[in-house]
């Protein structure tokens, strides 16, 4: 068939009897086409006329060397895909094939099942050879934490492309499961004398066995131990949690223990994984505290009493225990051994505190609160203990009234005195009143006395006056001596029985003691009382 890509100039030559032996030139042209294949044609040279009709034809084989190299254009030579995702590249032919071309996409070497392509082959025709076709590369989601890789070979066959060198696309599947460990806790509290647990598992499948070591960082605390101290994870059990037991030893001190555990993995690709840390606190079951033998203490005035103090748990260093009054200090209450020292050796031996009650002038009990508090040796935040001290007074409250009976002559007066037996807490008012129905013939002055904390022991005089009356009878009045305030409200009243000695004797006055009466006549005399009956 005719090849349109091969043409000749001067497709017809004329030879005459004059030029028959002169050469004439024929120019053969090779057209530029789209394919990459050499064109071929056979030019037949034939003669007619001049007796040449039967001369044999001569064939000239023409080859047009194509200047378009056969090849494929692959859009990427490297491709990165995120796990459980995809990416694409395109393929097209560089030159028109002579027929259909099949381009296959396949992995070289050991096949990686986590890398797949769609489609796995492309077909290019003489019509679509220069239209890019898309290949999708998929990265599967796997259990491990490592990137996958594969090399894809893009190979063309048919249509003159069999000898074209295959292209390669290097695929990396970036894993979305970072290597790591899951430790169930970052802090752990263990009761002293007991244990607690945490678990460890790997986040992604290792490439080989992984050893996880559990060790303390810094200075080792012997009261904190773990079991086991190492775990082994395989490619089979990597996602099965393994348990670590943390034990807290029972010690004699009253302080929490602590330690930091480092959980470190090695092997199986896990060497670069950051170690986890667990902060362990062993909660002590021996609380810091003070044991004080009494929280209330009674002391007799001018005497003493004692209580004892000891520490509940061993301190970390010397502890100073101070005993001091809270609030306003009461000078009548003092302590011996107001400061005690406990060491790490004698912390559980009792020490004695003596409390003294001074003899004072008042008649009231003294009170104070002694605060027992500790400092240093870890005891600074321990609750203080208060001891309520009462000094029982040996001076009973009372009044001294100089007379319990008093005689007052009519139209005269008499006195008695009053003083307090013990110093009051404040001013005391002593009221002198009559009990029952008041007798107006009897008056007292003053009717009220005031004793202070200074003059309480000084006697004060009360004057009782009796008025002159018309009757001739003695009168009796009971005076109530009633103290109030200054702590004396509950002191019993005193009584003074006052007798008014009347100066008007009872009698009858008769006007005549003799009387003469004439016979058959009469006489008179008068009678009256001397005093009001």
Tell me the domain boundaries of the chain: 1-68, 72-174, 181-283, 290-392, 399-501
Distance CA 249, CA 238 (A): 32
Backbone φ and ψ for 289, nearest 5 degrees, come out as -175, 170
Q: pLDDT band for 4, please (50, 70, 90 cuts).
A: confident
> Which of 118-122, 396-400, 500-504, 505-509 shows the highest mean pLDDT?
118-122
Q: Which residue has the higher pLDDT, 18 or 240?
A: 240
Question: Pick from 416, 413, 426, 403: which is nearest to 483 by CA?
Answer: 426
pLDDT per residue as tens digits for the range 353-399:
999 999 887 878 899 999 999 999 999 999 999 999 999 988 888 89
- The predicted structure's pLDDT at residue 395: 81
Flag whether pLDDT at 516 surpasses 90: no
N- to C-terminal Cα separation, the chain: 186
Q: What is the mean pLDDT of residues 130-137?
A: 97
Confidence of residue 131 (pLDDT cuts 50, 70, 90): very high
Max CA separation in the chain (angstroms): 250
Least reliable range by pLDDT among 26-35, 127-136, 320-329: 26-35
pLDDT of res. 37: 64
Task: Check whether 41 has a pLDDT greater than 90.
Answer: no
Contact in structure between 253 and 277 (CB atoms under 8 Å) = no
Confidence band (pLDDT; 50, 70, 90) for 265? very high
**pLDDT band (50, 70, 90) for residue 68:** low
Instruction: Over range 400-424, report the average pLDDT.
Output: 94
Q: What is the mean pLDDT of the chain?
A: 91
Q: Please tell me the distance from the alpha carbon of residue 291 to that of residue 311, in angstroms, as a whole number.
A: 6
DSSP state, 19?
T
Asked: is 181-283 a CATH 3.40.50.850 domain? The reply is: no
pLDDT at 493: 94
Residue 511, pLDDT score: 72
User: Contact at 8 Å (CB) between 397 and 491?
Assistant: yes
Give residue-wise pLDDT tens across range 449-499: 999 999 999 999 999 999 888 776 788 999 999 999 998 999 999 999 999
What is the pLDDT, as a whole number, of residue 226?
98
Rounded CA-CA distance 431/429 in Å is: 6
Quote the pLDDT of residue 530.
Answer: 58
Q: How many CB atoms lie within 10 A of CB 242?
A: 14
Checking if the pLDDT of 204 tops 70, the result is yes
Q: Which residues on adjacent β-strands are paired with residue 152?
A: 107, 169
The confidence band for 443, taking pLDDT boundaries of 50, 70 and 90, is very high
Q: Are 261 and 299 in contact (CB under 8 A)?
A: no
Instruction: State pTM to two decimals.
Output: 0.46
Kindly report which listed range (168-177, 275-284, 290-299, 513-522) carries the lowest average pLDDT score: 513-522
Where is pLDDT greater, at 273 or 471? 273
Q: Over range 390-411, report the average pLDDT.
A: 91
pLDDT at 333: 96
Shortest CA distance to 370 belongs to which of 392, 349, 358, 354? Answer: 354
Domains 72-174 and 399-501 share a fold: yes
> For residues 205 and 188, is the Cβ–Cβ distance under 8 A?
no
pLDDT at 67 exceeding the cut of 60: no
pLDDT in tens, 138-171: 999 887 778 889 999 999 999 999 999 999 999 9
10 Å Cβ neighbour count for 88?
Answer: 14
Q: What is the CATH number of domain 72-174?
A: 2.60.40.10
Query: Does residue 506 carry a pLDDT above 70?
Result: no
Cα–Cα distance, 461 to 204 (Å, whole number): 106
8 Å CB contact between 148 and 114: yes
Q: Which CATH superfamily is domain 290-392 in?
A: Immunoglobulins (2.60.40.10)
Question: Which residue did the predictor score with more confidence, 252 or 219?
Answer: 219
Indicate if the pLDDT at residue 508 is higher than 80: no
Q: Under DSSP, is residue 67 helix (H, G, I), strand (E, B) or coil?
A: coil
- pLDDT category of residue 520 using cuts at 50, 70 and 90: confident
CATH fold group of domain 399-501: Immunoglobulin-like (2.60.40)
DSSP 484-531: ESTT-TTSPPEEEEEEEE-SS---EEES-S-----TT------EEESS
- Could you please report the per-residue DSSP string of 85-146? EEEEEEEEESSB-SS-EEEEEEE-SS--TTEEEESSEEEE-TTTTTS-EEEEEEE---SBSS
- State both tokens at 39: 């064109």
Non-local CB neighbours of 246 within 8 Å, separated by 6+ positions? 188, 190, 195, 196, 197, 198, 224, 225, 226, 261, 280
Q: How confident is the model at residue 531 (pLDDT cuts 50, 70, 90)?
A: low
pLDDT band at 334 (very low <50, low <70, confident <90, very high): very high
CB 115 within 8 A of CB 135: no
More confident residue, 284 or 40: 284
pLDDT of 7? 80
């Amino acid at each position: 068939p005719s090849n349109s890509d091969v043409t000749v100039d001067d497709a017809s030559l004329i030879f005459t009897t004059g030029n028959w032996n002169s050469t004439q030139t024929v120019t053969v042209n090779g057209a530029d086409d789209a394919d990459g294949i050499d064109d071929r044609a056979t030019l037949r040279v034939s003669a007619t006329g001049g007796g040449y009709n039967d001369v044999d034809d001569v064939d000239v084989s023409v080859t047009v060397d194509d200047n378009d190299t056969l090849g494929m254009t692959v859009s990427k030579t490297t491709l990165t895909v995120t796990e459980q995702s995809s990416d694409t590249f395109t393929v097209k032919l560089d030159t028109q094939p002579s027929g259909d071309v099949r381009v296959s996409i396949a992995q070289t070497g050991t096949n990686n099942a986590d890398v797949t392509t769609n489609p796995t082959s492309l077909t290019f025709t003489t019509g679509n050879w220069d239209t890019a076709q898309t290949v999708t590369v998929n990265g599967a989601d796997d259990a491990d934490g490592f990137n996958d890789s594969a090399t894809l070979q893009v190979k063309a066959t048919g249509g003159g492309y069999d000898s074209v060198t295959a292209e390669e696309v290097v695929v990396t599947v970036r894993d979305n499961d970072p290597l790591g460990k899951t430790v169930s806790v970052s802090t752990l509290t263990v009761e002293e004398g007991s244990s607690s647990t945490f678990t460890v598992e790997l986040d992604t499948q290792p490439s080989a066995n992984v050893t996880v070591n559990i060790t303390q960082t810094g200075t080792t605390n012997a009261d904190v131990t773990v079991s086991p101290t190492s775990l082994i994870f395989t490619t089979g059990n990597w996602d099965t949690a393994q348990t670590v037991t943390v034990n807290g030893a029972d010690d004699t001190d009253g302080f929490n223990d602590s330690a930091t555990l480092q959980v470190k993995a090695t092997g199986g690709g896990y060497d670069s994984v950051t170690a986890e840390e667990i902060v362990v606190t062993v909660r002590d079951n021996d609380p810091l505290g003070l044991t004080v033998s009494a929280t209330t203490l009674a002391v007799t005035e001018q005497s003493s009493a004692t209580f004892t103090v000891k520490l509940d748990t061993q301190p970390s260093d010397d502890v100073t225990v101070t005993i001091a009054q809270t609030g306003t200090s009461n000078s009548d209450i003092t302590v011996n051994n107001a400061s005690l020292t406990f060491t790490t050796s004698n912390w559980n031996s009792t020490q004695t505190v003596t409390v003294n009650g001074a003899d004072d002038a008042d008649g009231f009990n003294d009170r104070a609160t002694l605060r027992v508090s500790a400092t240093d040796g870890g005891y600074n935040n321990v609750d203080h203990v208060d001891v309520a001290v009462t000094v029982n007074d040996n001076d009973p409250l009372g009044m001294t009234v100089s007379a319990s009976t008093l005689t007052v002559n009519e139209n005269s007066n008499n006195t008695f005195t009053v003083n307090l037996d013990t110093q009051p807490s404040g001013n005391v008012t002593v009221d002198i009143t009559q009990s029952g129905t008041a007798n107006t013939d009897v008056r007292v002055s003053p009717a009220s006395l005031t004793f202070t904390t200074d003059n309480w022991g000084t006697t004060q005089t009360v004057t009782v006056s009796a008025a002159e009356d018309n009757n001739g009878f003695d009168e009796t009045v009971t005076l109530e001596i009633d103290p109030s305030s200054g702590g004396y409200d509950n002191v019993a009243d005193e009584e003074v029985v006052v007798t008014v000695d009347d100066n008007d004797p009872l009698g009858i006055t008769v006007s005549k003691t003799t009387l003469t009466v004439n016979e058959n006549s009469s006489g008179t005399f008068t009678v009256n009382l001397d005093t009001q009956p």
